[in-house]
């Protein structure tokens, strides 16, 4: 019958119906539920409530015997008596809380006992016992639940192994706990109890704003428990486990403003008297799962489903004190009955984070918020701002039907953040976090009457602001009738009067007009909101139309003080034309609250209140409009207390024209994107480097003035459009129109001017094109500029991507469909550019400029620090060869070949290569490797002409009459020079060259071990490989000392030497080259050795010399030595360099040994995003890098531990490539060991943190290194070439393997 009645009303009126659902308590009169004691909380099933009951009973007994309280002196006397009375209860609590020592020691040692980390870290056994008690006191058997096995295990780990000794320490600790800790715990409880009781008593009987109850007619405090037919004694409390009568003592329900009391097994809120009790209810007990209370679960599920079949929505009563898993399960059942169920709830957790957890897990649509509880005009404005502003003015996110600016990660217009697609590549809508949606009410039923806190005019003002908000709204019966007292939902027995449509002596006509305004704003598309505290007592809510930029201003004059009771003027100045007054409403009389007489039969409101309502008036009493100049308006308002004025304003004609251009052209991909593509077709990758990137230092070196500075934010990371988009990505995701970038745009088009002028300076056609675009949209309303700028710039970025995909083949392959791979490819564009002061030698006798590959940004952006020989050729295969940028790769190979000297290429360049520094032994081998890899794609590289800068080792630069050879000749020379032995002292050695290095460190050696063929060199005084840190702290004693010399034969140099001579042998055998031998120094003589003999010599000796079967670190796990023959003693240190060798020359490795070594490396060195540079078991391991460390620790001062534990990202690429080879070997020997998908998923999991890093990094790259476990290292270079290059090499190789199917399309 009810169902038919509700449906009939719905069909006739369109009304929807909500009902309260109550899940966490029932009435004390509900005999059906109360006949199932397991369904409600009582002292039998929740014995940790026994202390709360004893306190509650004691307070009740005390209160019944007290005299009246009439003043503060009585209150003080009452407190003293109460404290004394509770002393007896305190003694009982102590008996309850004390641990039974005999019971603990009688329990046999638990063989399963284990310590969690928090227990293991306790200071001593006293702390551990207290922690165990805090967890276990709530269980039915307090003392017996302290596991003696845990105590014994704890003592064993501290050297106490005999049982008698353990018993002695356990006994002493428990005695300490019982004698010291328990009294302190009880004293703390009683302090809280007395404080809570006194607060309640003072409010009830003395406070000016309290009810001032008559003492003796009501209890001093509410009872927390219902007691049925039982006298609960202290003896019963201490022996409760045999007395099922305790289930008759029922726990009342209540609420707390902060801590939830949904988990009664852990809360102390009842014991501490922190619950606001509802004395007519009993709290329900669901347990952790349905099996704990099956009857209750079935009963409440049926109740909930019945309500869902009748009503369109629920209001969840006391939601935050309802167990979360209960709410989830019951709502799941309800939605099965009514899928479109609308859920609103009260949430008073005091934490927005906790609110969001409840909202997200239960699927709550709206949270109830109330304006009547505001305490000032500013607080009222804040409530409207927090809960009534769905989208800010100028929002980056339109409503879903207008999908042009929403976050669609598959869409190119959202360029930088991590992106996902469905299986059919349909873009998924990615929403940023937002404040929970509100149902904003002028008054709710639970709280005091508005007139208790507000003057009469504010009642109208509150409704006006509520109806101006962009959210659900609601009210409580009695508010519009101006009922001047609280209507108690339980105790009120009178009826409401009938609803009169003609009654103009209350708020109903005004509320009706305001609700019509609220509906109009929604129907007409005024979706964006701005809340302005225009004056202390004036709040203006502006509702904007996102497409037309028309606006409606709702001006509300609040009334809190005597001054605000006066009529006053206020002027609103803004751009616009054609103002229309939509509504004026004000209280004509009286301004103060009239006397009210209660009706004994009906609930009645105030009489004699006159409220004027004028909708769409032809002439306004309160609004006057003037035009100080073209396109601007002054709206003069005559404000009376509590009045509400709504005016509609159209934008100026110039703004309309600019908006029409934006909507019809910029937002039309068929037009704007097509024209952009024409402009971009003329740009190459170096142009795109300039358009997209360029850090501050790169810009300044070329005289461009630096990156854009945003006031109150700082410098952008890049001068190009990625610099803007990097900030805009966060701004748009959070729809943060108040960000300093948005404020800067609202104040002026300076960002647009900066971008246009910068592009025009390089005479790029794009600059002139954008100049026309920004001119056309210049007149859009200022608050829309951020959205307009973002749309234009993001479209330009998308056009950049389309052009890059045309120019870089990798972006067009199947692997190029991966967002992560695309981001790595973009670092090639990011890091390769032309910078004026770079040290790269030009190709043809200083006649042609050469692009350079920055080692990283911004640390290595210009000058001699930009181009490192080692870094360049470690990164080059991934960033240039795998991306098809063979021309740049060739230029760098040939450019560095020009600088060959001593058989080495330099690590550092300056003055276009004229003053290079040859202080590394490995750069030339990385160069040789790059030549070999480039040769596969461009065989002509070997015949490229090299105009050498140095005719001889000791000759000056000779650019006028250079010695000319080929790249092939350079490789031949490298091999011969090493075979013959290299010895020299660095040119200009001394403090000017290196202020830290000691004098012997300038003496350089390199060569070949004639017995093994291994490349070797260096000394303990210098660093010749990538681990090149030299100490600089005199205070700590490491100045001038290499931290990681790696002298002797470094494993990766041996592998690269083998790779190079093997390749040269193959070339000779295929008819390339005129010689295949070197004269190798053997002591005081030389012998002729062919390339093939040399390579075989290395291969025959490698496993025997480098394999280490374990033992160095006290374990049996095998790995490969890091060096051989090091005079600094680092041969057997476990480092990641062996993985380079595994990838470069896998044929040197025995597969079973390589597999074992990779397990050792994975266990000891693999970090979150990088590889630890030293085993954590090593005495020198220090994983936190800090160049600002000025302490006395030799190992870490001034960042001496650069390569002694910090985790380097580029090493991860080689490790994963070695793992890929290992998986391929394993699959070959045992095809069923792992599926291809499982292997692919393994790699996807490993790469997930790298995806997250590149998505969030301000420079849009992979960092140089991290501290332990992937922790951020402030001293690390944010985007490093070899970090991206080495991972890109791996991903392209993985794509060609059988395991790529295990990677999702987003990886």
CB 309 within 8 A of CB 282: no
Q: What pairs with residue 965 in β-bridges?
A: 946
Instruction: Give how far Cα 959 sits from Cα of 547, 845, 914, 963, 964, Å.
Output: 64, 6, 9, 9, 11
The token duo for 131 is 């922690």
Alpha-carbon span 568 to 1205, nearest angstrom: 70
Rg, Å, the chain Cα set: 40
For residue 1070, with 0-12 CB atoms within 10 Å meaning exposed, 13-18 middle and 19 or more buried, which class applies? Answer: exposed
Q: Which of 317, 389, 314 is nearest to 348 (CA)?
A: 317
Alpha-carbon span 732 to 414, nearest angstrom: 9
CB 1105 within 8 A of CB 1012: yes
386 is catalytic: no
Cβ atoms within 10 Å of 909's Cβ, excluding its own:
28
For residue 1173, with 0-12 CB atoms within 10 Å meaning exposed, 13-18 middle and 19 or more buried, which class applies? Answer: buried
Helix pair 740-747, 750-761: axis angle to 10 deg: 80
User: Is the peptide bond prior to 1212 cis by the omega test (within 30 degrees of 0)?
Assistant: no
CB 1209 within 8 A of CB 1283: yes
Alpha-carbon span 48 to 1184, nearest angstrom: 46
**Catalytic residue chosen out of the listed positions 147, 280, 317, 953:** 317
CB 1118 within 8 A of CB 1129: no
1222 is catalytic: no
Alpha-carbon span 919 to 904, nearest angstrom: 9
The token duo for 1257 is 């990094």
Which residues make Cβ contacts (< 8 Å) with residue 722, sequence separation at least 6?
A: 416, 692, 693, 797, 830, 1260
Instruction: Give how far Cα 590 sits from Cα of 265, 416, 455, 596, Å.
Output: 55, 60, 11, 13
Which residues make Cβ contacts (< 8 Å) with residue 1304, sequence separation at least 6?
A: 1244
Cβ atoms within 10 Å of 317's Cβ, excluding its own:
17
User: Is the peptide bond prior to 535 cis by the omega test (within 30 degrees of 0)?
Assistant: no
Tokens 């031949």 correspond to: 972
Instruction: Give how far Cα 828 sits from Cα of 156, 782, 862, 878, 1293, Å.
Output: 57, 37, 17, 9, 18
DSSP state, residue 728: H
- Quick check: helix, strand or coil at residue 38? helix
CB 568 within 8 A of CB 536: no
Alpha-carbon span 1280 to 1267, nearest angstrom: 16
CB 1140 within 8 A of CB 1094: no
Alpha-carbon span 1277 to 1256, nearest angstrom: 15
Alpha-carbon span 125 to 153, nearest angstrom: 11
- Alpha helices by DSSP H, listed for 311-435, are 324-337, 352-362, 377-387
Cβ atoms within 10 Å of 961's Cβ, excluding its own:
8
CB 878 within 8 A of CB 892: no
**Catalytic residue chosen out of the listed positions 74, 411, 446, 1180:** 446
Instruction: Give how far Cα 265 sits from Cα of 207, 514, 800, 1012, Å.
Output: 35, 48, 60, 72
- Quick check: helix, strand or coil at residue 1233? coil
Alpha-carbon span 369 to 356, nearest angstrom: 15
**Catalytic residue chosen out of the listed positions 25, 222, 226, 320:** 320
612 is catalytic: no
End-to-end CA distance of the chain: 57
* Residues involved in catalysis: 317, 320, 446
């Amino acid at each position: 019958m009810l169902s038919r009645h509700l449906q009939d009303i719905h069909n006739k009126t369109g009304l929807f119906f909500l009902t309260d659902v109550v899940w966490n308590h029932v009435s004390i009169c509900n005999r059906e539920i109360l006949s199932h004691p397991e369904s409600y909380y009582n002292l039998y099933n929740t014995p940790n409530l026994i202390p709360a009951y004893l306190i509650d009973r004691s307070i009740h007994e005390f209160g019944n015997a007290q005299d009246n309280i009439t003043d503060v002196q009585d209150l003080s006397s009452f407190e003293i008596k109460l404290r004394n009375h509770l002393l007896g209860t305190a003694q009982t609590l102590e008996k309850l809380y004390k641990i039974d020592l005999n019971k603990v020691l009688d329990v046999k040692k638990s063989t399963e006992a284990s310590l969690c980390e928090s227990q293991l870290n306790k200071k001593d056994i006293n702390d551990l016992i207290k922690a165990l008690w805090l967890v276990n006191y709530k269980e039915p058997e307090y003392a017996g639940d302290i596991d003696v096995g845990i105590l014994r295990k704890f003592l064993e780990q501290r050297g106490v192994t005999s049982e008698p000794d353990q018993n002695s320490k356990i006994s002493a600790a428990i005695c300490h706990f019982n004698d010291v800790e328990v009294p302190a715990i009880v004293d703390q409880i009683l302090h809280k109890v007395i404080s809570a009781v006194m607060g309640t008593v003072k409010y009830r009987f003395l406070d000016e704003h309290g009810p001032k109850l008559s003492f003796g007619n009501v209890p001093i405090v509410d009872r927390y428990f219902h007691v049925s037919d039982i006298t609960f004694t202290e003896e019963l409390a201490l022996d409760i486990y045999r007395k099922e009568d305790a289930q008759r003592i029922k726990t009342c329900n209540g609420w707390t403003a902060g801590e939830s009391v949904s988990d009664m097994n852990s809360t102390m809120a009842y014991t501490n008297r922190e619950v606001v009790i509802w004395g007519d209810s009993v709290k329900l007990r669901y347990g952790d799962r349905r099996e704990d209370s099956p009857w209750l679960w079935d009963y409440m599920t049926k109740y909930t489903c019945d309500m869902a079949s009748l009503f369109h929505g629920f209001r969840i009563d006391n939601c935050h004190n309802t167990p979360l898993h209960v709410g989830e399960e019951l709502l799941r059942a309800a939605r099965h009955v009514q899928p479109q169920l609308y859920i609103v709830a009260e949430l008073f957790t005091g934490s927005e984070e906790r609110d969001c957890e409840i909202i997200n897990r239960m699927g709550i649509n709206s949270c109830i918020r109330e304006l009547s509880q505001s305490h000032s005009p500013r607080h009222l404005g804040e409530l409207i701002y927090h809960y009534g502003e769905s989208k800010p003015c100028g929002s980056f996110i339109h409503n879903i039907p207008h999908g042009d600016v929403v976050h669609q990660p598959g869409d190119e217009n959202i360029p930088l953040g991590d992106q996902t697609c469905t299986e059919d590549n349909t873009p998924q809508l990615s929403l940023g976090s937002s404040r929970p949606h509100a149902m904003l009410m002028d008054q709710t039923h639970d709280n005091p009457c508005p007139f208790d806190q507000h003057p009469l005019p504010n009642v109208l003002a509150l409704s006006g602001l509520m109806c101006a908000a962009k959210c659900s709204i609601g009210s409580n019966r009695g508010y519009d009738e101006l009922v001047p007292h609280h209507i108690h939902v339980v105790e009120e027995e009178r009826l409401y009067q009938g609803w009169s449509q003609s009654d103009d002596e209350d708020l109903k006509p005004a509320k009706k007009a305001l609700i019509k305004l609220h509906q109009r704003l929604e129907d007409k598309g005024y979706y964006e909101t701005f809340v302005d505290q225009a004056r202390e007592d004036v709040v203006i809510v502006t509702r904007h139309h996102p497409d037309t930029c028309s606006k409606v201003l709702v001006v509300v004059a609040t009334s809190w003080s005597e001054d605000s009771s006066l009529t006053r003027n206020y002027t609103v100045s803004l751009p616009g034309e054609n103002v229309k007054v939509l509504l004026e409403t004000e209280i004509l009389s009286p301004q103060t609250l009239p006397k009210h007489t209660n009706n004994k039969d009906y609930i009645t409101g105030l009489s004699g209140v006159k409220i004027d309502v004028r909708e769409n008036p032809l002439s306004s009493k309160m609004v006057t409009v003037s035009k100080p100049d073209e396109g601007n308006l002054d709206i003069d308002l005559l404000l009376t207390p509590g009045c509400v004025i709504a005016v509609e304003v159209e934008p100026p004609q110039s703004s309309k024209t600019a908006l029409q251009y934006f909507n019809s052209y910029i937002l039309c991909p068929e037009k704007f994107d097509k024209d952009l593509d024409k402009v971009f077709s003329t740009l190459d990758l170096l142009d795109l480097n300039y358009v997209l990137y360029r850090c501050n230092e790169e810009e300044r070196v070329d005289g461009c003035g630096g990156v854009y500075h945003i006031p109150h934010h700082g410098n952008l990371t890049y001068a190009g459009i990625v610099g803007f988009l990097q900030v805009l990505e966060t701004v748009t995701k959070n729809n943060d129109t108040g960000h300093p970038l948005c404020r800067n745009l609202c104040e002026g088009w300076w960002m647009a001017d900066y971008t246009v002028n910068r592009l025009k300076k390089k005479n790029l056609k794009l600059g002139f094109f954008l100049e026309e675009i920004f001119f056309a949209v210049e007149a859009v309303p200022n608050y829309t500029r951020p959205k307009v700028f973002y749309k234009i710039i993001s479209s330009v970025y998308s056009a950049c991507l389309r052009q890059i995909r045309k120019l870089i083949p990798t972006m067009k392959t199947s692997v190029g469909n991966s967002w992560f791979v695309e981001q790595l490819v973009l670092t090639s564009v990011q890091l390769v550019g032309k910078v004026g002061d770079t040290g790269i030698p030009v190709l043809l006798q200083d006649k042609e400029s050469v692009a350079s590959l920055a080692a990283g940004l911004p640390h290595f952006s210009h000058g001699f620090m930009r181009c490192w020989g080692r870094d360049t050729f470690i990164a080059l295969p991934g960033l240039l060869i795998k991306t098809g940028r063979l021309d740049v790769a060739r230029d760098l190979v040939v450019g560095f070949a020009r600088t060959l000297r001593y058989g080495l290429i330099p690590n550092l360049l300056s003055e276009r290569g004229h003053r290079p520094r040859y202080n590394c032994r490995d750069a030339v081998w990385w160069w040789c490797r790059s030549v070999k890899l480039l040769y596969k794609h461009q065989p002509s590289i070997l015949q490229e002409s090299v105009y050498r800068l140095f005719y001889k080792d000791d000759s000056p630069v000779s650019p006028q009459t250079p010695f000319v050879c080929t790249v092939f000749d350079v490789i031949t020379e490298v091999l011969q020079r090493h075979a013959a032995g290299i010895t020299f002292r660095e040119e200009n050695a001394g403090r000017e060259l290196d202020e830290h290095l000691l004098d012997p460190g300038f003496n350089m050696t390199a060569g070949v071990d004639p017995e093994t063929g291994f490349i070797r060199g260096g000394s303990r005084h210098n660093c010749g490989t990538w681990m090149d840190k030299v100490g600089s702290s005199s205070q700590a004693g490491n100045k001038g000392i290499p931290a990681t010399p790696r002298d002797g034969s470094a494993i990766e140099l041996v592998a690269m030497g083998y790779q190079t001579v093997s390749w040269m042998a193959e070339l000779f055998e295929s008819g390339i080259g005129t010689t295949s031998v070197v004269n190798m120094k053997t002591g005081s003589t030389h012998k002729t050795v062919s390339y093939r003999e040399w390579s075989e010599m290395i291969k025959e000796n490698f496993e025997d010399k480098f394999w280490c079967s374990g033992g160095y670190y006290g374990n049996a796990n095998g790995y490969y030595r890091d060096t051989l023959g090091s005079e600094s003693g680092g041969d057997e240190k476990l480092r990641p360099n062996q993985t380079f060798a595994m990838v470069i020359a896998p044929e040197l490795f025995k597969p079973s040994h390589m597999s074992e070594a990779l397990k050792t490396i994975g266990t000891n060195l693999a970090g979150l995003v990088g590889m630890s540079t030293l085993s954590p078991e090593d005495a020198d391991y220090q994983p936190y890098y800090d160049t600002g460390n000025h302490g006395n620790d030799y190992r870490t001062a001034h960042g001496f531990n650069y390569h002694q534990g910090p985790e380097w990202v580029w090493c991860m690429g080689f490790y994963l490539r070695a793992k890929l080879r290992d998986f391929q070997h394993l699959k070959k020997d045992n095809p069923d060991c792992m599926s291809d998908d499982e292997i692919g998923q393994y790699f996807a999991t490993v790469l997930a943190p790298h995806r997250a890093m590149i998505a969030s990094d301000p420079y849009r790259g992979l960092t140089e290194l991290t501290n332990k476990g992937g922790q951020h290292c402030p001293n690390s270079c944010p985007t490093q070439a070899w970090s991206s290059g080495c991972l890109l090499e791996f991903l392209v190789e993985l794509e060609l393997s059988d395991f790529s199917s295990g990677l999702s399309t987003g990886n």
